[in-house]
A = this chain, B = another copy of it.
Amino acid sequence: MGVDTPGPAPAADPVEDFAADVFSRRCTSREALEHVTGKWALLAVTALLESPHRFGELRRRVDGVSEKMLSQSLQTLERDGWVHREVRSTIPPHVEYRLTDAGRELAPRLLDLVRFVEGAMPAVHAARAARS
């Protein structure tokens, strides 16, 4: 397209890389998507939809998660703006995690997915059993 356009039409505008589509290798949304759909991140966000949680509460709620992975997931979620972390410097320390506005838009979609897959489990087991 427009091979010889000398005018102000930058073909490779860096801003366009933002919203592009996930099917493109370089699209940054792919990374963000992975953060959100990560094994523990998904469960943490879903749990936070119910109510704010403290670290230990989340740890108990998301059964099986290690402190390291929960901490790591929460940091990534905070960095991408889905979760807010509030620290109260008391003794003992009190840290609370809650969804941001963006997170409150995201979480229902994840919950919907979770619920659907839960409901589809009989079919999934049937499919697995079907093939000899």
Bound complex: CA of A82 vs CA of B103, how far in Å? 28
A39 to chain B: closest residue by CB: B34
Are B18 and A121 interface neighbours, CB within 8 A?
A: yes
Residues of A within 8 A of B (CB): 18-25, 28-30, 32-34, 36-37, 39, 42-43, 46-47, 61-64, 79-81, 102, 105-106, 109-110, 112-114, 116-128, 130-131
Find chain B residues with CB under 8 A from A33 CB: 42, 113-114, 117
Copies in the complex: 2
Give the Cβ gap from A17 to chain B, nearest Cβ, in Å: 10
Bound complex: CA of A37 vs CA of B122, how far in Å? 19
The verdict on A79 contacting B131 (CB below 8 Å), with A63-B25, A116-B106, A116-B109 known, is yes
Q: Which of A23, A62, A105 has the most CB of B within 10 A?
A: A23
Bound complex: CA of A61 vs CA of B22, how far in Å? 10
Are B64 and A118 interface neighbours, CB within 8 A?
A: no
